[in-house]
Chains A and B, each alone.
Chain A
Amino acid sequence: MSDEPLIPNGLSTELGARSIRFEVGEDIYPLDVIQGAAYLFVDRAYLFLDRPRDGRVTVVLKTRGPTDPEALEALAGEFANELLNQALRKNIGESNARIREFVMARAFFAADGPSTIDRLLAQLDEEELAEAPLDIAVPWQEPRNG
């Protein structure tokens, strides 16, 4: 194994003959981000995750077939890049969670009914009627107060 880190910025990487070992800080990349990135490589590599100590996660990608140092280095770069993408996706998901829940609830659990505009107009009509003490706006067919 080489001791030379391939990718700086919080990731330490070691290249083996058919494997790459990353050590990732969970303060920078939460576990679900690491797992999300690792999952996307299961077609090309066997994945081994471990937590050697608190706050640190190791990921070993072992290629499914023979490889060469250049391909391995490219794979390491791709994994590091994917960690960033998964982190961005996590940010987007968390920031919009409440809005998405609200929209989904509206989509699937709200009864099919009048549109927002129709509801507002109906509400205005009700308010206007409520403010008319002589019930002038009430159609004559309907019984009047008093």
Chain B
Amino acid sequence: MLTTAITVDPRAYDRERVGFFRYGRVADKVLITNEASEHLILTEPQFQAFYRGKINEGDPLYPELQRRGFVREGVDLDGLAGRIRRKKAFLKHAPHLHVFIVTLRCNQACKYCHASRADMDAVDTDMSVENAKKAVDFIFSTPAPVLNIEFQGGEPTANFPVIQFVVDYAREKNRYEERELIFSMVTNMTLMTEERMNWLIDRGVMVCTSLDGPADVHDQNRPFTGSKTAVFDHVVSWMDRFNAAYVARGLDPDFFHVDALMTTTRASLTRGRDIVDLYLSRGLRSIHLRPLNPFGFAVNTWKQIGYTMEEFLQFYRDTAAYILEKNRGGTFLQERMASVFLTRMLTPDDPNYTDCRSPVGSGMATLAYNYDGGIYTCDEGRMAAHMGNETFRLGHVAQSTWDEVRAHPTIRALAVASINDALPACVGCAYKPSCGIQPLHNYMFDGDLFGQRPRSRKCQEFHGVQTWLYERLAADADGSDERIFRRWTIQRSRPGTVPYPPVGAEASP
């Protein structure tokens, strides 16, 4: 529910003394936020006094209100503008995340697959070297100073030669371009070989795999096509081999290790602690407690693997609390979605997380290149095309120029639908400065880019996670949760999230 649950008297607002703020209930307290992502958590009497302009200069709260721009007297407007500019620095940059769908072929049939997989003999869904070359040329025609090429599928290693071509060709081009070039790959590990592993490590391609939980959970969610052979053992054994190989090369395991993505199904809901323990045992520093999206195969399997958003949020809160407990015991593990929100809540920066941003990253921070050379706003846009809807197609690597793609009407529509300063419910929401919008999720769910916030699962998810974080901060008398939360805001280059250059750094020509 997005209603406010605070009793206020609008006539009592002191418009002469109190600056702009948004507000909302957090447990028994009231959160206030503003455009510069400043926040304060007030008691109810403090809040009632605050908006009535009755917190005076002598009050210990006053300097904090003033420093964060909540009162008008002595407000540093240039400072506020600078903080907003820094928060939105990503607006200055062209897409940094370039997703290559190098094949649709896959040897697994995951119950929630979004990727429009094809059988292993469907070689006509492999990206050709010719399209791959043109896609790389297109990427280098954009002005982004950071380029992250991410290989996805299907199972991308099913078309390994094209991955090798793209990496070597892009590296060669970059000798003259001198961009920050990052490679990553999302793989199920089942087609991995020693030779491929060494090649990927030598070329600096970071690897991310799917790991949904302990063997029973993982194998139930992600079976091989037409076989009952267990997948889990492949995944963890290759994770261990990669990690050992990084160490053998003298690389810091804090930065060089196989990352993992988990998808929450109904089987996960009671296994949060087991999943966290598994992630820690595999040397992972980050876990993303991702809910299931009701698209792709999950539409048909929803009755078997789906759940309500309330059930997911209960799982999230319990599991995230366990992760905090582990951190308090001296082990570092970050919850990824929390870290995105916390970076916005507690630091001057924005993590530029493309799936939760305002405006959204689709087409503006990320582009996807389908196996046939089609350019899409993002992987979900490409998936919509496989369902017969080409709304999110922006062009083709052989015909389109960067200027045509960046000015495409679909990108403009996505921007309008995801600027949360102008969306009903968001405009008054206390979480607006730290939140983001997913118009494609609205589109897939409601057939409408705008959707309706109170009915949106994404809105419920983002709202629920931020409520949990603010509740922890509101009850954090000794500051121990905040100390851990601040460690979670440390930036690392990983698929889907790339730090952008500091404010003032200009794009390469």
Contact = CB atoms under 8 A, between A and B. Distances in A.
A103 B35 contact: yes
Contacts of A96: 19-20
Q: Chain A CB within 10 Å — which of B3, B7, B85 has the most?
A: B3
Contacts, number: 100
A116 B504 CA distance: 17
B3 A78 contact: yes
Nearest to B459: A43
Q: Chain B CB within 10 Å — which of A88, A100, A110 has the most?
A: A88
Interface string B425-465: 10010000000000000000000000011110000000000
Contacts of B455: 42-43
A92 B21 contact: yes
B84 A86 contact: no
B2 interface: yes
Contacts of B452: 39, 42-43
Given A89-B428, A91-B15, A92-B20, A41 B3 contact: yes
A106 B297 CA distance: 47
A40 B85 contact: no
Interface stretch (B74-82, B191-199, B386-394): B74-82
B193 to A, nearest CB: 49
Given A82-B4, A103-B35, A116 B78 contact: yes
Given A84-B9, A103-B77, A115-B78, A36 B428 contact: yes
B84 A103 contact: yes
B95 to A, nearest CB: 20
Contacts of B7: 81, 84
B247 interface: no
A40 B425 contact: yes
B4 A81 contact: yes
Contacts of A91: 10, 13, 15
Contacts of A4: none
Given A102-B77, A110-B81, A112-B504, A88 B2 contact: no
A96 to B, nearest CB: 4
Contact of A85 (B4, B15, B424, B453): B4
Interface in A78-125: 78, 81-82, 84-93, 95-96, 99-100, 102-104, 106-108, 110, 112, 115-116
A2 B348 CA distance: 54
Given A84-B9, A88-B13, A106 B78 contact: yes
Q: Chain B CB within 10 Å — which of A87, A103, A116 has the most?
A: A103
Interface in A38-64: 39-44
A85 B454 contact: no
Nearest to A43: B454
Nearest to B453: A39
Q: Interface size class for chain A?
A: 35 or more
A40 B20 CA distance: 22
Interface in B4-28: 4-10, 13, 15, 18-22
B503 interface: yes
B35 A95 contact: no
Contacts of B428: 36, 85-86, 89
Contacts of A110: 81
A82 B3 contact: yes
Given A42-B454, A43-B454, A95 B13 contact: yes
Given A40-B2, A40-B3, A85-B4, A107 B82 contact: yes
B13 A99 contact: no
B454 A40 contact: yes
Interface string A8-49: 000000000000000000000000000110011111100000
Interface of A: 35-36, 39-44, 78, 81-82, 84-93, 95-96, 99-100, 102-104, 106-108, 110, 112, 115-116
16 contacts: A36-B428, A42-B454, A81-B7, A82-B3, A82-B4, A85-B4, A88-B8, A88-B13, A88-B51, A91-B15, A95-B13, A96-B20, A102-B77, A106-B77, A107-B82, A115-B78
Given A43-B454, A85-B8, A104-B84, 4 more contacts: A35-B424, A40-B3, A42-B454, A88-B8
